[in-house]
Structure formats: structure tokens, C-alpha cells
Amino acid sequence: MSTPHPPYRPLLGSCPDSWGVWFADDPRQTPWSRFLDELAEVGYRYLELGPYGYLPTDPARLRDEVGRRGLTVAGGTVAGHSGLHKPGDFGAILAETRRVAELTAALGARHCEPPYGLPDIPPVLAALDGLGAELFTVVEQDMYPCDFGKPKPIAARTYAYLNSHGLGGHDGGAA
């Protein structure tokens, strides 16, 4: 007989894409410190790193920057490459993947990929609870390039909606 597990709720986070960030360095993007400030102000507690080099790449500095805002790195991503189907790109993709993996591992993060599409939240949460595992959910709203004032209100509305369904907060439940 198995012991029932407590209900799990995915830990909710967001990413630089949701603030109009697609590149490590582009003046049309939200500055990284503003992104971290606004992410925390909205209520998110977890983040995906976005393009390598957008946020500080020194693990100690990044740990300090996210920690003083009450944030935790949930994972990283490798972006900006054409894909493994082009043999000439493999070396660059491998090098980028290693840099991202080293940084995320130094911060204790685990990388996950969200499902595609717009899910109906309550049935998705019920299905995820059946897995009996702690999960991260990263909200992404691709907005490159955008006015710096647009992402935060959208992120706040999205966070409030998801939080109303039990996602968010420090423990994955309602804030």
C-alpha cells in the first residue's frame, strides 16, 4: 500500500522573454536589473535565465542578485541557434549548452520545457498532481522588442490569473 502524497502544485516562474528579451545584449530590451525587480514585484519567485549573458554569468553575483529579490533560478535555456540538423552548428550549440548547464547547476536549477499551447488550467493541475512530483512552471510571453512599460502589467495579470488557480506563491500554492 502506497502512502498518499500531498497535492503538488507546480512552482510558478517566468523568464526574460516575457519582458521582451531575446538576446544577451540589445538596447531595445528591458535592462536585466529592471527585469529582476519587476519579476519579483509581480509576485513570481522562480525564473528561467533567458539568453546566456543577459543576466550576470558569474554564479556568485547572479545568486546575490536573484537572492536579494527573493527569486530562485529554476532553469536555463539555449537559444539563438539554428538547430542540430546543421552539422556545422554542433560545436557552437554544445559550447552554449555547457555554459548554460554550468551556470544553472551552480545555482541549483533544473531545466524543464513547458507544454505547447494554451492549456485549460484546472484539468492540467489535476493531471500534474497525479504525477506526485514537484514541478516548475515557467510563464513565457514572447514580446521582442517591446516598450519597457508593457511586460509588467501583462505579467501581473497572468500571475494573478494563474495564482487564482493555485499556482504561485513561495510554496507553489496561493500567495
Taking the C-alpha atoms of residue 160 and residue 91, their distance in angstroms, rounded to an integer, is 42
Tell whether the model's pLDDT for residue 173 goes beyond 50.
no
Give the best-scoring range by mean pLDDT among 11-20, 64-73, 155-164: 64-73
Taking the C-alpha atoms of residue 57 and residue 106, their distance in angstroms, rounded to an integer, is 10
Strand order, beta sheet including 136-139: 72-75, 46-48, 11-14, 136-139
Taking the C-alpha atoms of residue 141 and residue 17, their distance in angstroms, rounded to an integer, is 6
Tell whether the model's pLDDT for residue 4 goes beyond 70.
no
Taking the C-alpha atoms of residue 111 and residue 134, their distance in angstroms, rounded to an integer, is 13
The predicted pLDDT at position 89 comes to: 73
Q: What is the pLDDT of residues 50-103, one digit of tens each?
A: 899 999 999 999 999 999 999 999 888 876 655 555 667 777 777 887 888 889
State the pTM of this model.
0.67
**What is the residue extent of each domain of the chain?**
11-164
Band of residue 109 on the pLDDT scale cut at 50, 70, 90:
confident
Strand partners, 73: 47
Q: Which amino acid makes up residue 56? A: P
The predicted pLDDT at position 117 comes to: 47
Band of residue 31 on the pLDDT scale cut at 50, 70, 90:
very high
Mind spelling out the 3-state secondary structure of the chain? CCCCCCCCCCEEEECHHHHCCCCCCCCCCCCHHHHHHHHHHHCCCEEECCCCCCCCCCHHHHHHHHHCCCCEEEECCCCCCCCCCCHHHHHHHHHHHHHHHHHHHHCCCCCCCCCCCCCCHHHHHHHHHCCCCCCEEEECCCCCCCCCCCHHHHHHHHHHHHHHCCCCCCCCCCC
Mean pLDDT of 32-59: 94
Tell whether the model's pLDDT for residue 115 goes beyond 50.
no
